[in-house]
Chains A and B, each alone.
Chain A
């Protein structure tokens, strides 16, 4: 069965420090992975995706994610966190079957402290 996990409910970092939000996945075929961000009482915004190619994917707002096939991970990273990065982050795995649905992680709340 396909699944995605975000092992940390909450991550706290100081402004200016690097941040990492973790995501692991389980899939029988090729993984197609996405990261989204949600600010309070708002919809989700797409950050980046991995389909194929380079393991380091660059996305919006200075975020990037590293795909690691051997560790089945797709961690979201940013070299220097901003207070405005504080939000809820979701990792998602595309069901590569006919329905093309996204399988969602439960989300990680990121708090960047000034």
Chain B
């Protein structure tokens, strides 16, 4: 099956711990994205990457970090600096994010992070 996988589905973290959320895609997409979803706030972009070894901050990058060492993988680390990390995290990917593209994004199933 082609698609995007996120693991784990549920994650519990103690305050002060860093955690890493996995996102893998086998769609051969160039661009990948991380969003945070909170009730009533829609989707907010954390980080995005348009090509391997390059990524940019989104609207709410503080307290998060990413890497893009492989085309297929875009892990997100939630650091202890993120003050309110409890949320639903969604990873997405899309083809060819060039300036002439209008490609839709494909989403993974999400990871629900809870800070205890």
Interface residues of A (CB under 8 A from B): 9, 32, 34, 36, 41-46, 49, 51, 90, 94, 98-102, 104-107
Contact = CB atoms under 8 A, between A and B. Distances in A.
Interface in B74-116: 88, 90, 92, 97-99, 101-102, 104-110, 112
Given A49-B102, A51-B102, A44 B90 contact: yes
Interface residues of B, number: 29
B61 interface: no
Interface of B: 4, 6, 31, 40-45, 48, 50, 56, 58, 88, 90, 92, 97-99, 101-102, 104-110, 112
Contacts of A45: 107
B105 A46 contact: yes
A105 B40 CA distance: 10
B42 A105 contact: yes
Contacts of A90: 42-43
A43 B93 CA distance: 12
A41 B112 contact: yes
Given A42-B110, A43-B108, A46-B105, A100 B41 contact: no
